[in-house]
Chain A
């Protein structure tokens, strides 16, 4: 028979917390891209219209620049960045090609409903070099998607429109229920954008892509409601330990 002196107290619960699931997925994506040679650069969330729009060939008439799509601050002097692309612009202005950057973080759009949030996260990448083409972009995108979803996944490229890339594409994967799901946008960097960054577009070409972190997190973790990520509910967060 055991003695009272030998008694082992109950195991203490392993009370660790967790990194926010969106930051976990963001870090995962950045790690994937780091594996291909992309390193992260940082930039401000408040941007001038010049960096958020003009340098990216988003004309004054583009709907994205309207007050109903973009948050303007302090008498329209600046905007809350609508994408992380201006971070890449700032970096391109300070770096000679060849260059390979990722930018990641919060972005803001004037949306707030069941499927859109006014704040969400992007991870974007850009590669500039002397010989870069659409066929190589496809190769990179395939590899990125395989790293996220596995090699069995079916991928579809569709023409799309972004003022900063031309040609532009949206990429879908085939879900288990037979529906195509949009995963990312990408394209060949518009030479106008390259010239805007004081880089000779006759010598250098670029490819760029952008992923929505919430989208990937929802698909991989099977979260149906995007709003769940931002309720700070401990029952929710506790599942991502």
Chain B
């Protein structure tokens, strides 16, 4: 909710500053930002619908400041409105009022609070009555709906309808009502208002409207919730009704409405209809200082508690706190305790040492097997990935998501293969020539109910490693089988080769994949020798360096060294070469030719820029520098150069 500082402070005689009020809002739990210099953009918690207005916020600020939360209202007597209205859904709408106003004069330019609202909040004007309705909602928190009195028949009912109606909202949006909806209908069955959400185009006010019927209602949040999202209607009224409005505010709100109308035009006639279908009963909560102090860890006196609650508009009778009509969220002692804590300030409650009793500490199975497997794979060069469980493809026993993010993510995966293949291809597309990944995750499937099991998926492809021993070897099934013997030589692991035929991949390397249910491993003795290489502690979190999104460029050099002592010098020289564009260097070939007294050293250089695609010119410049400085070393040559 956006609210202007000046609209609040004009009701606080002590005139606190914008940041003073901001601080108080934080203490009260109203998280916000200050935007455009003097507007609070407040994110109210869903239980505080009562604060979605100037008046509501002032009621909360009244615990810190003396405030004048009342606005001028029309005080003259009002004639009864004879309207043929039937409420067929009194549970959904237990309180409703209508007010008919007929104008006889022209409408003057906006002044006072109405003018300030449109000037300060940069809200678009629509027409006189709708503008007042919008302002009233901002000021009081109570949405009202204005019908052009000429456009509705004097025979109206409110009902929960399951019929499919075409409905054109006042913002010119056509929707098809489906399921149960609370609607205002005319005698002929025409829907003129999707209650609490938005009225119809046909009955809405225009700039010509001189006779208006204002509807002011309390709708049960349960009947409103979800409707604005369902019909994709952005409705301030729905937002407020969903969070609960004050059921007892109607007369004041309508009198305030009339006052603003009266300030801008000559009124010929005013009539009012008010009907309550059930009595409002405030929640009555015991005010027991021992129990409240026990919840908070404070030692407040009963008088202090009373004083705090009175400031928030509670009524105290005997030893009970009675909630004000606008605080439907307060139901229990714990709710009262929170109110007290908000007023004191959470930060002003002194912390007390907590020691968890030994009897509460129970040791559970520590997922020992899973840790051993992870450590083993990590020590063998595999990286753990975590993938979304949402997949496009349906299997025989897939679980379908009723409301998927999109049509490509409408099933839960029943295995890890699709996600791991996707991760592998993602890296291959980023020029990774050796990819080794694994994932451990629960998968869910339908089989006489919902079943789950925890699976391990391992996928690998490309070069065996990035060193002179493994560089020229390619990953195959035997590699994975042999490697996993290190985990357990009693289990017969059977990895698969995944065909690239349908993978949109031109790479030729075999994709090797293995999936195992963790339960299948639980009875086997696994190798314990691989320890977790790393445990995070508070001070050893590495600072992440932004990775490049641009392609890399690779160059290889093959050196010949005749003088053995120079071999170490060359190796040190090359491997210590640093440049911001040089991402990686490794030795991919090492060969000692004793017959020719020669050492061959193959070195790969990978260049990449974080700012743009690296150019040949940039790479060549760096390679020249590397080559020249290497050839200075005695007996070092680059054959073919």
- Residues on A facing B (Cβ under 8 Å): 1-4, 6-7, 9-10, 12-13, 15-20, 22-25, 27-28, 31, 36-42, 44-46, 60-63, 66-68, 71-76, 78, 80, 95, 97-100, 106, 110, 112, 118-119, 127-129, 131-140, 142, 147-150, 156-161, 166-170, 188, 190-192, 205, 207, 220-224, 229-241
Given A18-B378, A75-B402, A133-B295: A234 and B383 interface contact (C-beta under 8 Å)? yes
Contact assessment for A44 and B452 in the assembled complex, using a CB-CB cutoff below 8 Å? yes
Closest to A189 in B: B334
Q: Which of B335, B354, B432, B564 contacts A139 (CB 8 A)?
A: B354
Contact with A along B325-336 (1 / 0, CB 8 A): 000000011110
Interface size grouping (class) on chain B:
35 or more
Contacts of B538 in A (CB 8 A): 147-150
Quick one: which of B387-433 are within 8 Å of A by CB?
387-390, 399-405, 412, 422-423, 426-427, 430, 432
Q: Which of A17, A39, A205 contacts B381 (CB 8 A)?
A: A17
Given A46-B450, A135-B296, A233-B547: A36 and B225 interface contact (C-beta under 8 Å)? no
Q: Provide the bound-state CA to CA distance between A135 and B400, in Å.
A: 45
Contact assessment for A2 and B564 in the assembled complex, using a CB-CB cutoff below 8 Å? yes
Q: Provide the bound-state CA to CA distance between A220 and B467, in Å.
A: 32
Q: Provide the bound-state CA to CA distance between A119 and B423, in Å.
A: 17
Chain A CB within 10 Å — which of B354, B450, B469, B597 has the most?
A: B354
Q: Which of A41, A68, A231 contacts B229 (CB 8 A)?
A: A68
Q: Provide the bound-state CA to CA distance between A25 and B28, in Å.
A: 32
Q: Provide the bound-state CA to CA distance between A236 and B68, in Å.
A: 57
B455 CB to closest chain A CB (Å) equals 13
Contact assessment for B597 and A190 in the assembled complex, using a CB-CB cutoff below 8 Å? no
Contact assessment for A23 and B384 in the assembled complex, using a CB-CB cutoff below 8 Å? yes
Contact assessment for B242 and A221 in the assembled complex, using a CB-CB cutoff below 8 Å? no
Chain A CB within 8 A of B264 CB: no
Q: Provide the bound-state CA to CA distance between A43 and B33, in Å.
A: 38
Contact assessment for B592 and A61 in the assembled complex, using a CB-CB cutoff below 8 Å? no
A38 CB to closest chain B CB (Å) equals 7
Contacts of A133 in B (CB 8 A): 294-297, 352
Contact assessment for B565 and A72 in the assembled complex, using a CB-CB cutoff below 8 Å? no
Contact assessment for B542 and A240 in the assembled complex, using a CB-CB cutoff below 8 Å? yes
B480 CB to closest chain A CB (Å) equals 14
Q: Which of B296, B351, B586, B601 contacts A13 (CB 8 A)?
A: B586
Contact assessment for A239 and B545 in the assembled complex, using a CB-CB cutoff below 8 Å? yes
Q: Which of B29, B242, B342, B360 contacts A63 (CB 8 A)?
A: B242
Q: Which of A19, A74, A157 contacts B378 (CB 8 A)?
A: A19
A144 CB to closest chain B CB (Å) equals 11
Chain B CB within 10 Å — which of A10, A12, A158 has the most?
A: A10
Chain A CB within 8 A of B126 CB: no
A/B interface sample: 26 pairs, CB < 8 A: A1-B565, A10-B587, A13-B465, A15-B381, A17-B378, A17-B381, A17-B382, A23-B386, A27-B535, A37-B356, A41-B364, A46-B399, A46-B444, A63-B225, A63-B242, A67-B403, A95-B362, A129-B356, A133-B295, A133-B352, A135-B352, A158-B26, A160-B45, A161-B48, A166-B338, A233-B430
Contact assessment for A159 and B384 in the assembled complex, using a CB-CB cutoff below 8 Å? no
Q: Identify the stretch in B144-152, B203-211, B434-442, B493-501 within 8 Å (CB) of chain A at 4 or more residues.
A: B434-442
Q: Provide the bound-state CA to CA distance between A2 and B537, in Å.
A: 45
Chain A CB within 10 Å — which of B357, B379, B380, B446 has the most?
A: B357
Q: Provide the bound-state CA to CA distance between A157 and B597, in Å.
A: 73
Closest to A130 in B: B357
Contacts of B352 in A (CB 8 A): 133, 135-136, 138-139
A199 CB to closest chain B CB (Å) equals 13
B55 CB to closest chain A CB (Å) equals 20
Closest to B335 in A: A166
Contacts of B222 in A (CB 8 A): 60-61
Contact assessment for B533 and A16 in the assembled complex, using a CB-CB cutoff below 8 Å? yes
Chain A CB within 8 A of B176 CB: no
Closest to A96 in B: B359
Chain A CB within 8 A of B75 CB: no
Q: Provide the bound-state CA to CA distance between A188 and B341, in Å.
A: 12
Chain A CB within 8 A of B350 CB: yes
Chain A CB within 8 A of B346 CB: yes
Q: Provide the bound-state CA to CA distance between A223 and B404, in Å.
A: 28
Q: Which of A6, A110, A167 contacts B337 (CB 8 A)?
A: A167
Chain A CB within 8 A of B256 CB: no
Nearest 5 pairs of A and B residues by beta carbon:
A135-B297, A159-B29, A161-B45, A133-B297, A167-B338
Contact assessment for B354 and A74 in the assembled complex, using a CB-CB cutoff below 8 Å? no
Contacts of A28 in B (CB 8 A): 535-537
Q: Provide the bound-state CA to CA distance between A227 and B342, in Å.
A: 36
Given A62-B46, A137-B354: A220 and B423 interface contact (C-beta under 8 Å)? no
Q: Provide the bound-state CA to CA distance between A234 and B459, in Å.
A: 13
Contact with A along B359-379 (1 / 0, CB 8 A): 111111000000000100111
Closest to A111 in B: B405
Given A24-B536, A221-B544: A73 and B402 interface contact (C-beta under 8 Å)? yes
Chain A CB within 8 A of B347 CB: yes
Q: Provide the bound-state CA to CA distance between A68 and B228, in Å.
A: 11
Closest to B423 in A: A232
Closest to B601 in A: A10
B33 CB to closest chain A CB (Å) equals 11
Chain A CB within 8 A of B543 CB: yes
Contacts of B374 in A (CB 8 A): 19
Q: Provide the bound-state CA to CA distance between A2 and B599, in Å.
A: 13
B114 CB to closest chain A CB (Å) equals 31
Chain A CB within 10 Å — which of B360, B364, B442, B543 has the most?
A: B360
Chain A CB within 8 A of B567 CB: yes
Contacts of B226 in A (CB 8 A): 66-68
Q: Provide the bound-state CA to CA distance between A135 and B29, in Å.
A: 18
Contacts of B296 in A (CB 8 A): 133-135, 167
Contacts of B273 in A (CB 8 A): none
- Inter-chain pairs besides A19-B384, A166-B332, 17 sampled, C-beta below 8 Å: A4-B594, A7-B599, A15-B465, A17-B378, A31-B535, A45-B389, A67-B226, A72-B401, A127-B360, A135-B296, A139-B352, A158-B29, A159-B338, A167-B338, A190-B334, A229-B386, A231-B426
Closest to B384 in A: A20
Contact assessment for B362 and A99 in the assembled complex, using a CB-CB cutoff below 8 Å? yes
Given A7-B599, A159-B346, A222-B543: A232 and B534 interface contact (C-beta under 8 Å)? no
Contact assessment for B378 and A110 in the assembled complex, using a CB-CB cutoff below 8 Å? no
Closest to B450 in A: A46
Q: Which of B242, B543, B547, B564 contacts A3 (CB 8 A)?
A: B564
Contacts of A67 in B (CB 8 A): 226, 229, 402-403
Contact with A along B294-319 (1 / 0, CB 8 A): 11111000000000000000000000
Contacts of A98 in B (CB 8 A): 356-357, 359-360
Q: Provide the bound-state CA to CA distance between A232 and B594, in Å.
A: 44
Chain A CB within 8 A of B118 CB: no
A89 CB to closest chain B CB (Å) equals 16
Closest to A78 in B: B450
Contacts of A119 in B (CB 8 A): 388-389
Chain A CB within 8 A of B577 CB: no
Chain A CB within 8 A of B162 CB: no
A50 CB to closest chain B CB (Å) equals 14
Contact assessment for B356 and A100 in the assembled complex, using a CB-CB cutoff below 8 Å? yes
Contacts of A223 in B (CB 8 A): 544
Contact assessment for A10 and B468 in the assembled complex, using a CB-CB cutoff below 8 Å? yes
Closest to B422 in A: A232
Chain A CB within 8 A of B85 CB: no
Closest to A2 in B: B564
B552 CB to closest chain A CB (Å) equals 9
Q: Provide the bound-state CA to CA distance between A222 and B387, in Å.
A: 21
Q: Which of A13, A19, A140 contacts B466 (CB 8 A)?
A: A13
Closest to B406 in A: A112
Contact assessment for A235 and B430 in the assembled complex, using a CB-CB cutoff below 8 Å? yes
Q: Provide the bound-state CA to CA distance between A135 and B354, in Å.
A: 9
Closest to B564 in A: A2
Q: Provide the bound-state CA to CA distance between A233 and B544, in Å.
A: 13
